[in-house]
Amino acid sequence: MAELRVPKLNNNDTEYLLVEWLAADGARVAEDDAVVLVETSKAAEELTAGASGVLRHRLRAGVWCRPDDVIASIDGTAEPSGPQPASPDRVSPVTAQRGTAQRGTAQHGTAEDSAPLITAPAQALIDELGIDLERVRALGIPVVRRADVERVAATPLGGETSTDGRAEHRLSRVQRAVARSVELSHQTIPAAYAVVRMDLGPALEYARAKTMEIRRPVGPAEVFVQAVAGLHERFPLFFATVDGTVDGTVDGTRALLSEAPNIGVTVDVGEGLYVPVVHDAGSRTTKDIATTLMKHRLAAATGEFTESDLSGANFVVTLHTEHGVVLAIPFVFPGTVCALAVAGPREGTLADIGLAYDHRLINGRDAALFLNALKATVEGLT
């Protein structure tokens, strides 16, 4: 008999909410089947069975679980055993908005009326943003998760006005997260900037050929992720993290080098700016990178990223390939040292590619060496 244990999903939470079972108790499942939805403070994660057989629930939906807790078993018998009741101190504070605030389970089919059940992380975000519950109920779904609330927050209200009578646009949670990152970056990172003009002609021809070959869309993002990752060994400081603290403040006394290039790529499809990560990009093929970035673009449309999708970047590629943009200066994302700005061609196939960098670790000469090495790689693609 195999056991389904809760993995460590992030470093910030000690407990996660078991939102709902995606496979019924007693259902026969395959190893790779998603069987349960667990929510952290940042994202919802679908956990797979990990083994083939008959699924036995150990915990009910709507309770808290901790890393390494056994929440289900998988065996070869056919009769469902039924979920075990949660212990008193593990019952979820999921708030069921059904007339009066009450505790309940986050399981489909248990609603006493048509009002949705709101998970604890979702309720916390509702409280934080001051969202009217009627807007949440208008979604028409039985279980409201944090991602659903983010979707509501990102939808502007018609006719909303400020206290002085002017039209007001409320920033979405994603936009506010970006604002906090920008503010922290400007407060703590002494950034500098360098630009090199590159001929993207060879890269664009390479991208077109690869698109036909691997049947995946290949463009500037895929090209530059692969090219940047290839420079990791020669320029380790560009993928480092500034460390060293005095009284809780980073003082930049040392740099922690990264074992592999984990390249974050900005994605904005109109639902907010995200920076999902291509992990260990140096060991990936073009097809691997293109497949990962395609998945990230689809996730950006709904905001349904996993925790690992958005964690661990040690270099960021920012895309500014919209028509007419000839130069962009990105901020250095907290936790990284560099942000590469990729603009589209401005004169034929020529484009200005810039590097924002943390001046505590990297000097202007080093930045120029990196950019020229990148230029040689991109212009040498065949």
Domain ranges of the chain: 2-90, 95-159, 177-379
- Average pLDDT, rounded, for the chain: 82
pLDDT one-digit tens code per residue, 257-315: 999 999 999 998 776 789 999 999 999 999 999 999 999 998 888 778 888 898 899 99
Cβ–Cβ < 8 Å for 59, 71? yes
pLDDT band, residue 382 (cuts 50/70/90): confident
pLDDT band, residue 164 (cuts 50/70/90): low
pLDDT one-digit tens code per residue, 171-183: 666 777 788 888 8
Highest mean pLDDT among 54-58, 227-231, 322-326: 227-231
- Residue 195, token pair as written in the block: 């630009």
pLDDT one-digit tens code per residue, 65-81: 999 999 999 986 555 44
Could you say which architecture CATH assigns to the domain 2-90?
Answer: Beta Barrel (2.40)
Specify burial of residue 113 (Cβ count, 10 A radius: 0-12, 13-18, 19+). Answer: exposed
The CATH superfamily assigned to 177-379 is Chloramphenicol acetyltransferase-like domain (3.30.559.10)
Instruction: Please give the model's pTM, rounded to 2 decimal places.
Output: 0.61
Packing angle, helices 201-214 and 364-379, rounded to 10: 50
Q: What is the CA radius of gyration of the chain?
A: 24
Cβ–Cβ < 8 Å for 121, 145? yes
Range of weakest confidence among 153-167, 232-246, 255-269, 335-349:
153-167
- Residue 119, token pair as written in the block: 């998970």
pLDDT given at position 16: 87
Q: Which amino acid, 76? A: G
Q: Are strands 338-343 and 191-199 parallel, antiparallel or unpaired?
A: unpaired
